Structure 1
Amino acid sequence: MQHLRTGHYRWRTEQAYRHWAGRFVRWLEERRRTRTVPSGALDLQAVTEADVKEFLSEMATRQRTSASSQKQALNAIVFLLREVYGHELGDFSDFTRAAHNPRIPVVLSRAECRQLFAALDGTTRLMAELMYGSGLRLMELLGLRVKDVDLDRQQLVVRAGKGDKDRVTVLPESLSERLRLHRDWLHGIFDEDRRTGAPGVWLPEGLERKYPKAGESWEWQWFFPSRQFMTDPRSGVKRRHHILDATFQQTIRQAARKAQLNKRVTPHVLRHSFATHLLESGTDIRTLQELLGHKDVATTQIYTHVMKKPGLGVRSPLDTAG
């Protein structure tokens, strides 16, 4: 953990690396038992390229894991061996790679979006509408700070999005007044936290070292804070965090059932719907790529397959028969 934290890795990355490192070690230990290797402590500095290759290949062939999971496991194992144990491996790039099968995203129609929003209320409805209206990823939504929501310029700044990149996206004008009222409500929570001497909100480590009191400043407060204080898993400090991702995910699933939607709805479906609806309205693919924060336009092009009129408006022959 110390190596991950001194490297300023995100909490989710730390969790993922610990998970995959643990699975790799357990796999090595299990293999030692099945191959009747002499007992003794497992020496990770004795791990070979063949060991890593076999583990990764097994992920693809026996476990049928996704390409993204296999890549994450690879990064975690290399980090564990090289950064933690100082063990440099040779070339093992010829492992069996997991199949990369692009999936057609689930997209809601505009009417279905309205049905979903109607099944929500209060802050959760505002969050869902903002996620759809700005094309945010879930953690980008939850990680918004007060300073990132620019109501005067009608812009929303996503800080350290996927790939640790910042970007600017649209802020729906229709939400301006409700966002302003929500921000006023937040100020009351902020004032109460300052009055009671509550610890400041979490900040990236480098910023916290440079500005120790910045977490107590208004502009750094979470835009969607939790109602209760929670213990920071890294520092142990009990402070106000943003709303948990699992909480919001569960709320969206419940709303989809209440709205009787015939699709599997997750928060990310709102981002898919944002992209598809903009394409259907004539937004060019490069502009959409920038709004979504995609590194490669090929990732954005997946949405052309779920537009309302795919294939340049080709009609089914059944519609013209007879």
Structure 2
Amino acid sequence: MEDVPRPLPSPPVKFMDRLRAFMRAKRLAFRTEETYCRWIRGYIRFHGMQRPEHLNGEHIDDWLRHLACDRSVSINTQKTALNAVVFLYRQFLRLDIGTLNFTRANKGRKLPVVFSQDEAMRILSFLKGESWLVASLMYGSGLRVMEAVRLRIQDFDFEQQAITVNEAKGNKARRTLLPAALVAPLQAQVEMAMALHRRDCEEGVGAIYRPEANSVSAKHDKTALLYVFPADGPAFCPSMQVMRRHHIREQQVRRAVARAIGKAEIRKAASCHTFRHSFATHLLAAGTDIRTIQELLGHSDVKTTMIYTHVIGEHANDTLSPLDRLAAEHGIS
């Protein structure tokens, strides 16, 4: 279960276990916990497994310079690494690291790959069942794959044709579009999930996971909390120490989409996330306000959303290539 925190010893003794316990007390998203721990482990290994409290700001500068100069990480990747070690020192260890003076990464952010509308529909045509429905939500609602597979019955407002994304990146809830074309398939999916839950309850495996409390609810009437895309079968949850049914795995959807992209003969470096990029780009090309798109995507800074203006470029203004103009003048096809 890739998005369920593993249990920690009580009391936690090892350094990383104590760090994880502190993060959970701070209510950090599990994805953030995993990311920060990965970077902090890398920082410790880089300095020969020395204890972080024996290191200082100069050691942080050396590590961040290594990431920028030796590993050529992107600007955003270096920022994430910086956030991780700053959290380690300032919040967990309560140590002053002074003013950092490291080499900044200069590997710029690449423009996102997007599908044309025809390409998106061709890919969807090679998908079926839950994979088709999840991919349709990624394209039609701008969801990340992890947001789509975690959707619960309570997240759908069929009357208002809206989705509330509660388990989003950074635990920042937002509201986005629910395409009219998906209302009927989703209602059928909800009925299937509820029927499956009734059977699970009869078999004693009907516990429902509540991420905000990191616990399970044994109350069988809490159907609003049911995952809309349940896993094929129940499995043992080591965190909760119960048998229960989780949602389908992200990797399951990623593999299905990758196969569909191949069958559709799309020659782009595309993935599930390309549907989200395409959602934003196609809305922008259709004249949707950039601030609206920012809210639908859940970006905290409009600068992040502005990258889609570069994807569209001048084509939105019907700019003609000089070669095409020359070809038209001389009748060259």
1:56-113 superposed Cα distances (whole Å, 9 cap, x missing partner) = 1111111111222222222222333344444332222x21121251211111111111
Matched, 1:250 2:255: yes
Matched, 1:290 2:295: yes
Partner of 1:64: 72
1:112-166 superposed Cα distances (whole Å, 9 cap, x missing partner) = 1111011111111111111111111222212211100111221111115334322
The Cα of 1:212 is off from its aligned counterpart by 5.0
Matched, 1:150 2:150: no
The Cα of 1:193 is off from its aligned counterpart by 1.7
Matched, 1:90 2:109: no
CA distance 1:2–1:199, change in 2 (3 Å): farther
Q: Secondary structure at the match of 1:157?
A: strand
With 290-299 and 52-61 compared, the bigger mean Cα shift is at: 290-299
Partner of 2:312: 307
- Percent of matched pairs sharing the same residue: 36
Partner of 2:55: 47
- For structure 1, list consecutive stretches of 5 or more residues without a partner in the other structure: 31-41
Q: 1:28 aligns with which of 39, 44, 47?
A: 47
Partner of 2:188: 181
Partner of 1:3: 22
With 309-318 and 145-154 compared, the bigger mean Cα shift is at: 309-318
When normalised by structure 2's length, the TM-score is 0.85
CA contact (8 A) 1:116 1:255 kept: yes
CA contact (8 A) 1:186 1:223 kept: yes
Partner of 2:9: none
When normalised by structure 1's length, the TM-score is 0.88
CA distance 1:53–1:233, change in 2 (3 Å): farther
Partner of 1:200: 207
- For structure 2, list consecutive stretches of 5 or more residues without a partner in the other structure: 1-19
Q: Within 5 A, what are the aligned runs for 1:161-176?
A: 161-176=168-183
The Cα of 1:15 is off from its aligned counterpart by 1.5
Q: Secondary structure at the match of 1:29?
A: coil
Matched, 1:134 2:141: yes
AA of the residue aligned to 1:106: V
Q: Within 5 A, what are the aligned runs for 1:199-278?
A: 200-206=207-213, 208=215, 212-213=217-218, 217-232=222-237, 234-278=239-283
With 129-138 and 289-298 compared, the bigger mean Cα shift is at: 289-298
The Cα of 1:184 is off from its aligned counterpart by 0.9
AA of the residue aligned to 2:234: F
AA of the residue aligned to 2:275: L
Once residues 234 and 84 of structure 1 are traced to their aligned partners in structure 2, the CA distance between those partners, rounded to angstroms, is 23
CA contact (8 A) 2:205 2:234 kept: no
Q: Secondary structure at the match of 2:47?
A: helix
CA contact (8 A) 2:210 2:217 kept: no
Q: Secondary structure at the match of 2:274?
A: helix
CA contact (8 A) 1:214 1:220 kept: no
CA distance 1:216–1:28, change in 2 (3 Å): farther
AA of the residue aligned to 1:12: R
Q: Secondary structure at the match of 2:299?
A: coil
CA contact (8 A) 1:169 1:291 kept: yes
Partner of 1:33: none
Once residues 41 and 116 of structure 2 are traced to their aligned partners in structure 1, the CA distance between those partners, rounded to angstroms, is 42
CA contact (8 A) 2:285 2:316 kept: no
CA contact (8 A) 2:68 2:104 kept: yes
CA distance 1:6–1:230, change in 2 (3 Å): farther
CA contact (8 A) 2:141 2:176 kept: yes
Q: Secondary structure at the match of 2:232?
A: strand
CA contact (8 A) 1:252 1:265 kept: no
Number of corresponding residues? 308
AA of the residue aligned to 1:257: G
Q: Secondary structure at the match of 2:208?
A: coil
Once residues 82 and 236 of structure 2 are traced to their aligned partners in structure 1, the CA distance between those partners, rounded to angstroms, is 31
CA distance 1:136–1:130, change in 2 (3 Å): same
CA distance 1:231–1:5, change in 2 (3 Å): farther
Two-structure CA RMSD over aligned residues (Å): 2.2
